[in-house]
């Protein structure tokens, strides 16, 4: 039997980072080329063939429309290529949840698509990059990984794109899942699936858009006034995600300004600045009266991705936006 062929799309991040010293803290993300990373893996004589395709060599804080479009096009093409068994994306961890969720919403399930990063640069003491990459290869080449949509592999753990988030700035086990936890445990020599796909449907929920609208996340803070909302409208924001206090709350003046935004045709989604938990409708804030949608289980970063896709698809009505956040 010939070796399975996996497409590896490189974007940079700490997994491709190099440190100024093996014991220091400072490093440059995206320094090491994808070709070098793949050659290091090839030297291990695994029974897979890796096809390296660099998309970018940047820290993921700079990822945006050009890289997202390139990733989407490459994966969509791979999905139609019978010679490719799966796709791996090497990516910085800071925005992994955004890219993974965006791709999950806009690609059919089917072929395994696995995003992987690292918390420590490749040449640091205790680097996690090679292990995470080996784990990603194991997941992407496993037939049981099919039909699960986009997954994120970090720290011997596999998460669904809809659940995953970065929950720590520097711990090696920085990723968590909410509302569902990991769907598999993986090591370079084992893979145990113990949960279903956690994905809505097997076909994409949204077409790939022509462009993404400007949608901002506004973090609520005690004592703030309405001017930040007015400023966002002033620069032409087409949607606002409020990262609110607790259950997605904000000072009265801010809620009133956001309700004005809704009346002006700018959809508003309430999420929470708290790390974990649901934001439900009409708990403390009267969403029905003010015209807001509640982000439910999605944190601000993922809520922004979903709102951008909704607006790009012409969906701005509060009821339809809420239905999408409810999973409809």
Chosen residue from 10, 86, 112, 117 binding ligand SIN by CB under 6 A: 117
In the complex, the smallest distance separating the C-beta of residue 117 from ligand SIN, rounded to whole angstroms, is 5
- The yes or no reply on residue 94 touching ligand SIN (CB under 6 A) is yes
In the complex, the smallest distance separating the C-beta of residue 217 from ligand SIN, rounded to whole angstroms, is 17
Of the two residues 92 and 248, which places its CB atom closer to ligand SIN in the complex? 92
Say whether 14 is catalytic.
yes
- The yes or no reply on residue 127 touching ligand SIN (CB under 6 A) is no
Could you tell me if 105 and 132 are in contact, meaning their C-beta atoms sit under 8 angstroms apart? no
In the complex, the smallest distance separating the C-beta of residue 62 from ligand SIN, rounded to whole angstroms, is 8
- If we measure between CA atoms, which residue out of 118, 127, 196, 105 comes closest to residue 153? 118
- The yes or no reply on residue 300 touching ligand SIN (CB under 6 A) is no
Q: Which of 14, 90, 95, 99 is catalytic?
A: 14
- The yes or no reply on residue 124 touching ligand SIN (CB under 6 A) is no
Phi and psi torsions of 27, nearest 5°: -160, 165
Q: What is the DSSP string of 257-283?
A: HHHHHHHTT--EEEEESSSS--B-TTS
**In the structure encoding, which two tokens stand for residue 101, read together?**
């969720």
- If we measure between CA atoms, which residue out of 88, 115, 108, 117 comes closest to residue 9? 88
Instruction: Tell the residue number behind the tokens 């429309």, with chain if given.
Output: 65
Of the two residues 117 and 267, which places its CB atom closer to ligand SIN in the complex? 117
Stretch that binds ligand SIN, among 19-27, 69-77, 87-95, 284-292 (CB under 6 A): 87-95
- The yes or no reply on residue 99 touching ligand SIN (CB under 6 A) is no
Virtual torsion, Cα 69, 59, 131, 73, nearest 10 deg: 10
Chosen residue from 93, 135, 157, 162 binding ligand SIN by CB under 6 A: 93
Of the two residues 92 and 244, which places its CB atom closer to ligand SIN in the complex? 92
Of the two residues 29 and 37, which places its CB atom closer to ligand SIN in the complex? 29
Can you tell me whether residue 66 is helix, strand or coil? helix
Nearest residue relative to ligand SIN (C-beta): 92
Q: What is the largest CA-CA distance in the chain?
A: 66
Stretch that binds ligand SIN, among 19-27, 59-67, 100-108, 293-301 (CB under 6 A): 59-67
Alpha carbon of 148 to those of 10, 180, 181: distances in Å?
21, 14, 15
Instruction: Tell the residue number behind the tokens 């809420």, with chain if given.
Output: 322
* Dist. CA 91–CA 118, nearest whole Å: 8
- The yes or no reply on residue 154 touching ligand SIN (CB under 6 A) is no
Binding to ligand SIN, residues 4-33 (CB under 6 A): 13-14, 29
- The yes or no reply on residue 128 touching ligand SIN (CB under 6 A) is no
In residues, how long is the chain? 328
* Dist. CA 123–CA 131, nearest whole Å: 13
- Give the binding site for ligand SIN (CB under 6 A): 13-14, 29, 59-61, 92-94, 117, 119
Please identify every residue annotated as catalytic.
14
């Amino acid at each position: 039997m010939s070796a399975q062929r996996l497409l590896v799309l490189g974007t940079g991040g700490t997994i491709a980072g190099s440190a100024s010293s093996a014991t220091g803290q400072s490093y440059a993300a995206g320094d090491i080329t994808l070709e070098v990373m793949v050659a290091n893996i090839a030297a291990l004589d695994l029974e897979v063939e890796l096809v390296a395709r660099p998309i970018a060599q940047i820290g993921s804080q700079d990822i945006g429309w050009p890289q997202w479009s390139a990733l989407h096009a490459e994966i969509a093409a791979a999905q139609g290529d019978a010679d490719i068994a799966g796709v791996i994306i090497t990516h910085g961890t800071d925005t992994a949840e955004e890219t993974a969720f965006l791709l999950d919403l806009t690609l059919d399930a089917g072929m395994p698509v696995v995003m992987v990063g690292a918390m420590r640069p490749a040449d640091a003491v205790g680097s996690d990059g090679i292990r995470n990459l080996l784990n990603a290869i194991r997941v992407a080449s496993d037939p049981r990984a099919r039909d699960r949509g986009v997954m994120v592999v970090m720290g011997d753990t596999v998460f669904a794109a809809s659940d995953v988030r970065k929950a720590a700035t520097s711990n090696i086990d920085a990723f968590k899942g909410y509302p569902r936890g990991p769907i598999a445990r993986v090591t370079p020599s084992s893979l145990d699936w113990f949960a279903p796909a956690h994905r809505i449907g097997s076909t994409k929920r949204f077409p790939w858009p022509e462009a993404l609208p400007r949608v901002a996340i506004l973090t609520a803070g005690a004592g703030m006034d309405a001017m930040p909302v007015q400023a966002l409208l002033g620069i032409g924001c087409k949607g606002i995600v409020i990262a609110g206090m607790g259950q997605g709350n904000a000072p009265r003046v801010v809620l009133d300004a956001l309700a004005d935004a809704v009346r002006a045709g700018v959809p508003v989604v309430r999420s929470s600045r708290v790390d974990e938990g649901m934001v439900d409708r009409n708990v403390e804030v009267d969403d029905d009266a003010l015209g807001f949608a509640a982000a439910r289980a999605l944190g601000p970063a993922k809520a922004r991705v979903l709102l951008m896709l909704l607006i790009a698809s012409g969906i701005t009505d509060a009821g339809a936006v809420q239905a999408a956040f409810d999973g409809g």
